[in-house]
Amino acid sequence: MDALARSIADVGLPHPLLVEAAREAIADSAPETARSRAEALASSLLRPVVNATGVLLHTNLGRAPVEHCSTARASNLEFDLSSGRRGSRQAHAASLLARATGAESALVVNNGAAAVLLVLATLAKGRAVVVSRGELVEIGGGFRVPDVLAQSGAELVEVGTTNRTRLSDYEAAISSREDVALVLKVHQSNYRIVGFTEAVGVGELSRLGPPVAVDLGSGLLDAATPWLEGGPPEWLAGEPAARQSLEQGAALVTFSGDKLLGGPQAGIIAGRRELVAACARHPMARALRPGSLVLGALQETALSYLRRDGRAIPFWRMATTPPEVLRSRAGALVAKCGPHLRAVECRSVVGAGSAPGTEIASFGVALAGDQTAALRGADPPIVARVRSGETICDLRTVDQADDLVLADVLCRLAAGREA
């Protein structure tokens, strides 16, 4: 067993894992499978991949790509350097995000669902929360708004219908009860209702009395996108933003850090100071708080926004790359790999429940047949898609630095087809 484990040491796993692969292979009377077992384990571990799917925020691939380096040193995570006393981990990234959204205060938790849960548990436990039936959504992973409300201890009060909810529906619900703690407005995120529809805006809701909490989901900071030189792209039209929601009267907004914000996985609560402070004091806040690595990456993201430097955020770089640049890159790949590869026009999507139903013009390269398994077996793995019998690598979601990696793998696949 030891000899078999040592013979597959080049797989790169720690010796105990190689021994485990060898033991399982011998137990199945198939020692020749030890290598494939070890390789299968190695490929299942967390590792970088090249996203060539054309989905900018691919949930299965970690959503927004984040570049962040941290030295192996202690940090002032909860230490006030000016006073020498204990500080707060919310004094760094959270305070910057409050400035970026125009909020009085902000709080960071570990994901978007946690942000909604903490707001409801803090401000509405044992009381009523009014929500439009058209906003009782389910997003990826079975996250359902009614379930989160139930877990928080709040009582759901549904108003309106799936496609039409009027201001009078909210007014009737609020006037009929004395225990309404919040009006919750939820961004429909990964789908749209079109046609015979009606919805009530944040401004109108904010005049009804109870505080309005808006779950934005996708995390657009400002509809004006001052961090982009050309202003907001067309595909962002209609996407709700944190700054505008607060200006319209929302008491709180919640959103994710790893979607349109372009940062690490996190959940942000921003809005009125006393409400954010109440959420921070809730016992659940400690269980939901992120660590220093997440907060460090989120701080760098927030600083880029405040510098109005969208190019420093990988998501915005790939989202705003002009199609002609992508076409030129596709042509270079074809020139390098030969006639079995061809440049193709394609359409990218934002993904992760952001800007549903919209597409972004893009270019990529195509190779005949389904080559996705071979691409996934590359180092680093390349994840692509199949369309009309061809494997498409959409270059909008491929960092330009990875073009050489993509070229090497595609050239070998093209050469194999030629042979």
Report the pLDDT value the prediction gives residue 414, as an integer from 0 to 100. Answer: 83
d(CA 110, CA 113): 9
Report the pLDDT value the prediction gives residue 69, as an integer from 0 to 100. Answer: 83
Mean of all residue pLDDT scores within the chain: 93
Single-letter amino acid code for the residue at 197: T
Report the pLDDT value the prediction gives residue 20, as an integer from 0 to 100. Answer: 96
Report the pLDDT value the prediction gives residue 141, as an integer from 0 to 100. Answer: 60
What domains appear along the chain, each with residue ranges and CATH number?
50-64+317-418 (3.90.1150.180), 90-290 (3.40.640.10)
Tally the residues of the chain.
419
Residues of the chain with pLDDT under 70: 139-143, 190-191, 417-419
- The string of pLDDT tens digits covering residues 270-328 is 999 999 999 999 999 999 999 999 999 999 999 999 999 999 999 999 999 999 999 99
Report the pLDDT value the prediction gives residue 190, as an integer from 0 to 100. Answer: 64
Q: Tokens standing for 340? A: 């079995």
Q: What is the pTM of this model?
A: 0.92
Q: How many CB atoms lie within 10 A of CB 41?
A: 15
- The string of pLDDT tens digits covering residues 109-120 is 999 999 999 999
Residues 6+ apart with CB under 8 A from 316: 227, 228, 262, 310
Report the pLDDT value the prediction gives residue 23, as an integer from 0 to 100. Answer: 96
- Cα 294 to chain centroid distance, Å, stands at 13
Phi, psi of 376 (to 5 degrees): -65, -25
- The string of pLDDT tens digits covering residues 229-252 is 989 999 998 899 999 999 999 999
Nearest to 309 by CA among 298, 300, 296, 322: 300
